[in-house]
DNA sequence: CATGAATGAGCGTTCATTCAT
DNA sequence: TATGAATGAACGCTCATTCAT
């Protein structure tokens, strides 16, 4: 039954996601995953070639979720008019990340094989493409001579600051101040 | 003998550092470390409570080295006058990171326990303090109203872009262009 | 349908034979066999009590083939007259084995349960019976007082030497020399 | 302590030999071996790179024992004079093999990797060298023109018949008759 | 202090076999 | 009769850690 398969497959992926969050990558084992999914280890190997394949599926779904949520946000940002668009956009990214904080941290800081998780790897480039698209559609309030390099830099500024706010909020400076400053800087950056 | 202790201790830390670079965190075992240090595993446990303590010491020394090197650079930047100071400073950070690329990558991408390495954690705050100090000593060519939040943002921009250049150079944009843009942005940022 | 049954049964046996040759006994799994036969694993268990039963059927067919081929050869040897009969006979055995070399090797060197494959076990006795029959029909050029023990010894000599030539040709001595010597010895042995 | 090592090492090898005899190669596991040796599995891996290395050591010791026993026998055969020398020699081989019957069978019929057990592989060639040496030292009662090929054939006859007697005694013919015939044939073969 | 030796606990993976449908 | 899905029971192996000396 295809139904039964789907259920088992999903159970495995979700069990894995949960364990990654609770125990971290290194201490998440195939036996744990299968046990929490309520199936035998061997079933895991029916659906995945090995442990990292399950983890990869978790990553793929995570990336999907994040991009989809950001996609919806982008539409609203552009449609919603210039007014506070940047602020809305940045806060949308911030909230999206905050929601998946623990899981994102696993792939950012724990998954040991650099260059082996296509979906995660693709996030950076996708973000750039994304921004380029926004730039094109937002000709009204974005300066026309914004180069790719400059855009990439801006993305770095935004993402790294959001990451800092999400994963390691600085002690000496208030969240609010940092976010406000980030918004201000970004508006200045993109505006003519 | 305190002397012999010191020697053994150092040998262990250096063996560990070498193995982390060569084999990665997961494949570096206590037996490897001890063997390369020329002592017995049990001796490792005389000096350290466990594997991760050795790794933590490696991390601490790495952070020390990086900060020391940046400290020396900062002095030169300030003393050397305004001329191209920002460029020199940014390239110094870039080169420092590049030199330790492999080891930094271990702590960035392989060490499995987020939030358990004090020295690594302290890098962010230390970098901010550092920059605040520079700001004070460089009153001449740094705008006087540069807030802490703004400074933190600038650090984020600089470090995240350098990290990208070192660990994951973007395909669509040239290194040069990105560095040039970074320098230009930073000068604009700090200048009145 | 008996017809469909037969087809499936044969497909399983042939798939198994192929896999044994290609992957060896240990790496041939029931799932492989079923997959290559184009049926489900569970079907395999409809026709056979377990993995080794399939293997046993492969063995039985192999023995059958070998004996049938030798039978045809024996007739020709006897009918063809004395001239070089021994040489023709020995080379027929040699070629028959060579043709099935890989599969024979599986049962000789890989099948793990000694004394559990009736068909293979029966080969020895069958060979003796065979030779006794030849002896009866070849009264003309075989000495009349050739005892069973002597015949068994001769079979041992011939088969072990052929096995050596097929599976483990000696390095110091040429194939030709060994075969020639074997033929000469055999002729001397059976002739008055 | 080197003493402790030796003891553990030997215990492992002996445990392995016992299990091979009792359970066969495939069902002898590293955990079994270690358990019977009274040590932890991990200790097995201190002394051997893996399961097959233990098995290889068992094989090496077996071959050693067999060759040593045959060596002692050869001396007696040659020194003891021509009288019944062949019979003594053949019975010596027969008895030696009989003593290790089960273990020999494991390596002959169960060990799955052809061409991976140097010691076992060397047995054939060693036997030929052995016989060549005997031929040289026994000029008195061995025909001078016995070629290497002929000698190899004789070895095949003797070993295969002894193997048959040890592992698969034929039903229609008495042991005695077969042995007598073998001795007679061999004497005829080597004598002028 | 130092070491050779040992080990507990677990890991990822495999496969012959059996259900539920 | 046939199958998709599931599983029990192991297996070979690793490694951080600890004794006994």
**pLDDT(A99) > 80:** yes
Whole-number pLDDT of residue C109 = 79
Handedness of CA C39, C41, C42, C46 (dihedral sign): positive
What is the C-alpha separation between D136 and D46, in angstroms, rounded? Answer: 46
**Higher-scoring residue by pLDDT: B63, A127:** B63
What is the C-alpha separation between B134 and B90, in angstroms, rounded? Answer: 14
A41 falls in which pLDDT band (50, 70, 90)? very high
For chain A, give the mean pLDDT: 88
Look at A152 and B178 and tell me if their CB atoms are within 8 Å: yes
Task: Give C166 CA → E10 C1' in Å.
Answer: 47
B32 falls in which pLDDT band (50, 70, 90)? very high
Q: How far is CA A183 from the centre of its chain?
A: 20
* pLDDT tens, residue by residue, C52-98: 999 999 999 999 999 999 888 877 777 766 678 889 889 999 999 99
- The gap between the terminal CA atoms of chain D, to the nearest Å, is 60
Q: Strand E closer than 7 Å to the CB of A5?
A: no
Residue A159: what are its φ and ψ, rounded to 5°? -65, -45
**Higher-scoring residue by pLDDT: C78, B180:** B180
Chain C residue with minimum CA distance to D121: C168
In window 11-70 of D, residues with CB < 7 A from nucleic chain E are 38-43, 46
What value does the mean pLDDT take over residues A112-139?
Answer: 79
Whole-number pLDDT of residue A139 = 67
* The nucleotide closest to A9 (CA, C1' atoms): F5
C2 falls in which pLDDT band (50, 70, 90)? low
Q: Long-range contacts made by residues D2-10, C-beta under 8 angstroms, separation at least 24?
A: D5/D47, D8/D37, D8/D39, D8/D43, D8/D47, D9/D47
Q: In the C/D pair of chains, how many CB contacts fall below 8 A? A: 96
What value does the mean pLDDT take over residues B83-110?
Answer: 88
* pLDDT tens, residue by residue, C112-145: 666 778 898 888 888 988 888 888 887 677 888 8
**What are the distances in angstroms from CA B150 to CA B71, B121, C111, C163?**
21, 21, 75, 85
**pLDDT(B88) > 80:** yes
Whole-number pLDDT of residue B150 = 95
**pLDDT(C38) > 90:** yes
Best mutation target among D29, D117, D132, D153 (most C Cβ atoms within 10 Å) is D153
**Domain layout of chain B by residue ranges:** 1-48, 52-190
Whole-number pLDDT of residue B61 = 96
Which residues neighbour D98 within 8 Å (Cβ) at sequence distance 6 or greater? Answer: D166
A85 falls in which pLDDT band (50, 70, 90)? confident
Helix D148-167 and helix C148-167: axis angle, to 10°?
Answer: 110
The CATH number that domain B1-48 falls under is: 1.10.10.60
B62 falls in which pLDDT band (50, 70, 90)? very high
Q: What does DSSP assign to residue B82?
A: S
* pLDDT tens, residue by residue, B127-155: 898 888 888 887 677 888 899 999 999 99
Which residues neighbour B139 within 8 Å (Cβ) at sequence distance 6 or greater? Answer: none
What is the C-alpha separation between B105 and A112, in angstroms, rounded? Answer: 10
State the chains in contact with B (3 or more Cβ–Cβ pairs under 8 Å). A
What value does the mean pLDDT take over residues C150-165?
Answer: 95
SS3 percent helix, strand, coil of chain D, rounded to 5, is 75, 0, 25
Which residues neighbour A67 within 8 Å (Cβ) at sequence distance 6 or greater? Answer: A123, A126
For chain B, give the mean pLDDT: 89
Instruction: Check: CB of residue D66 under 8 Å from CB of residue D130.
Output: no
- Per-residue tens of pLDDT for chain D, all 192 residues: 577 789 999 999 999 999 999 998 888 999 999 999 999 999 999 999 999 999 999 999 999 999 898 888 777 777 766 678 889 889 988 999 999 999 998 888 777 666 678 888 888 888 888 888 878 877 677 888 889 899 999 999 999 999 999 988 888 899 999 999 999 999 999 886
**Higher-scoring residue by pLDDT: C45, D191:** C45
What is the rounded (10 degree) CA torsion for B2, B5, B10, B15?
A: 170
Three-class DSSP category at C171: coil
Whole-number pLDDT of residue D138 = 72
Handedness of CA C51, D23, D67, D181 (dihedral sign): negative
**pLDDT(C1) > 60:** no
Would the pTM count as exceeding 0.85?
A: no
What is the C-alpha separation between A71 and C131, in angstroms, rounded? Answer: 84
**What are the distances in angstroms from CA B114 to CA A61, A104, B100, D66, D157?**
22, 12, 20, 60, 72
Q: How far is CA D41 from the centre of its chain?
A: 29
Best mutation target among A23, A107, A109, A169 (most B Cβ atoms within 10 Å) is A109
Whole-number pLDDT of residue D181 = 96
Which residue in B24, B164, B181 is closest to A112 by CB distance? B24
CATH architecture of D52-190: Orthogonal Bundle (1.10)
Whole-number pLDDT of residue B41 = 95
Whole-number pLDDT of residue A131 = 82
What value does the mean pLDDT take over residues B48-65?
Answer: 95
Which residues neighbour D24 within 8 Å (Cβ) at sequence distance 6 or greater? Answer: C112, C113, C114, D106, D110
B111 falls in which pLDDT band (50, 70, 90)? confident
Q: What does DSSP assign to residue D178?
A: H
**pLDDT(C154) > 60:** yes
Which residues neighbour D148 within 8 Å (Cβ) at sequence distance 6 or greater? Answer: C172, C173, D128, D132
State the chains in contact with D (3 or more Cβ–Cβ pairs under 8 Å). C
Handedness of CA C67, C73, C76, C77 (dihedral sign): negative
Q: Strand E closer than 7 Å to the CB of B42?
A: yes
Instruction: Check: CB of residue B143 under 8 Å from CB of residue B190.
Output: yes
Return the H-helix or E-strand segment holding C152.
Answer: helix C148-167
Percentage of chain A lying above the pLDDT 70 cut: 94
Handedness of CA C143, C148, C151, C157 (dihedral sign): negative
Which residue in A109, A161, A172 is closest to B156 by CB distance? A161
Best mutation target among A160, A179, A186 (most B Cβ atoms within 10 Å) is A160
Cβ density class C74-90: b for 16+ within 10 Å, e for less: beebbeeeeeebbbebb
Which alpha helices (DSSP H) does D24-147 contain, by range? Answer: 30-37, 41-47, 51-79, 85-99, 101-105, 118-137
Three-class DSSP category at D90: helix
**pLDDT(B114) > 70:** no
| Contact present, D and A (at least 3 Cβ pairs less than 8 Å) | no
Whole-number pLDDT of residue A175 = 92
Three-class DSSP category at C15: helix
């Amino acid at each position: 039954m295809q139904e039964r398969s789907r259920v088992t497959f999903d159970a495995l992926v979700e069990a894995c996601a949960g364990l990654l969050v609770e125990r971290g990558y290194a201490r998440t084992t195939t036996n744990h995953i299968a046990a929490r999914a309520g199936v035998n280890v061997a079933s895991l190997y029916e659906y995945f070639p090995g442990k990292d394949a399950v983890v990869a599926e978790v990553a793929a779904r995570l990336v999907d979720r994040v991009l989809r949520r950001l996609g919806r946000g982008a539409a609203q940002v552009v449609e919603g008019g210039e007014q506070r668009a940047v602020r809305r956009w940045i806060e949308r990214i911030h909230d999206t990340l905050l929601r998946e904080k623990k899981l994102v941290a696993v792939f950012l800081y724990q998954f040991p094989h650099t260059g082996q998780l296509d979906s995660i790897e693709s996030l950076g480039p996708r973000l750039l493409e994304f921004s380029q698209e926004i730039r094109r559609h937002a000709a009204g309030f974005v300066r026309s001579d914004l180069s790719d390099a400059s855009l990439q830099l801006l993305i770095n500024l935004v993402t790294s600051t959001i990451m800092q706010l999400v994963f390691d909020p600085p002690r000496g400076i208030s969240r609010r101040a940092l976010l406000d400053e980030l918004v201000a800087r970004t508006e200045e950056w993109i505006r003519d």
